[in-house]
Structure 1
């Protein structure tokens, strides 16, 4: 049985091939070739991947990723599509699904939504899996948010991440749309933000929202 993360890996691979190496993405400064290089380095070069999160190592990561981007595009995508190398930490039990589902979903949408796109309903299983990850993603997003966030699923379920003394902004959307918003892709996500105008404006400065 194909797992959700395997399905998202295949979907992202197909989108990158369809867009081509110089295709646009929502990752500032990155064409599809750069995104493919990032994905390959992230899974296959743990010595360099640390710079994705650790600012002091970012220069080393950029150099390794730049060299990877010089590889033939088809080779890069094939390497990503085939999964992490046998010795990669991503092959440890449970790591692939835990670390990659949101990553692959967001980057697939980075490619799909960088150009004109049509709304695409999520498979119910994927939508539920993403919703279960919203609290974790929300805590990551809250580190940058100047307001408390109340994240509301269309069926009424909600997750609240409070910032002491800060006003609450309610953001409503499907699980995938909320994940994209929390990862800074809200300008291309189907979410609605409600709250005090000043609070909504402050939020939009750090986590973009769709144009009114």
Structure 2
């Protein structure tokens, strides 16, 4: 089973444990809202473009409003079973970050969370994704941003000017930060104002 598939199953389990009305790290979305988002993204190709393209957003919202009213067990089952058969060959490529990040959105949406201990292989898989996406995530910074891991891996996410911030932590924590989440366990090196600016960046990928 791929990491994307394992994260999908773990996400559904966490959703069931938290309940439909629990908060997430996705703004005002509850667990129910997040489940509806995942279903529309995978199963409604007519509406999914609205996730990225503003002209299509109103239609996406109307579709998602209908999906979110389904019984919660049905929503969980649809997330669990995954994409249509014709998308399954690219499931790992398409859904690794989606399932991992949203799993943590559910886990870390309420106080008292602790980071999971992922295997070295899973951390390596997330580092490879991070290395590809880092420049896009930090493109709006007006200073240099570097990402580093405890085992010595490093990538310059953005180069600008003489000021710099280094974010250090496990690939899983760095990836979550690159996707705009601040509920992470990282060490930041740099001037306090610069560190605060990096945390406040629009890091949408």
In 2, Cα distance between the equivalents of 1:166 and 1:42?
Answer: 41
| Contact in 2 for aligned 1:146/1:203 (Cα 8 Å) | no
1:160 counterpart SS class: strand
1:139 aligns with 135
The alignment status of 1:80 with 2:75, answered yes or no, reads no
Listed as ranges, the gaps of 5+ residues in structure 1 are none
In 2, Cα distance between the equivalents of 1:198 and 1:113?
Answer: 26
The alignment status of 1:110 with 2:105, answered yes or no, reads yes
The alignment status of 1:175 with 2:171, answered yes or no, reads yes
In 1, Cα distance between the equivalents of 2:170 and 2:189?
Answer: 16
In 1, Cα distance between the equivalents of 2:146 and 2:47?
Answer: 36
1:59 aligns with 58
Single out whichever of 6-15 and 54-63 deviates more from structure 2: 54-63
2:5 aligns with 6
Q: How does 1:120-135 map to 2 (within 5 A)?
A: 120-135=116-131
The alignment status of 1:96 with 2:74, answered yes or no, reads no
| Contact in 2 for aligned 1:172/1:193 (Cα 8 Å) | yes
In 2, Cα distance between the equivalents of 1:39 and 1:7?
Answer: 16
The alignment of Structure 1 onto Structure 2 pairs a total of residues equal to 202
Q: After the TM superposition, which segments of 4 or more aligned residues of structure 1 sit over 4 Å from their partners?
A: none
TM-score (norm 1): 0.89
1:205 aligns with 200
In 2, Cα distance between the equivalents of 1:55 and 1:136?
Answer: 25
Listed as ranges, the gaps of 5+ residues in structure 2 are none
Deviation at residue 207 of structure 1 after TM alignment: 5.7
* Cα distance change on mapping 1:149 and 1:77 into 2, 3 Å: same
In 2, Cα distance between the equivalents of 1:179 and 1:159?
Answer: 12
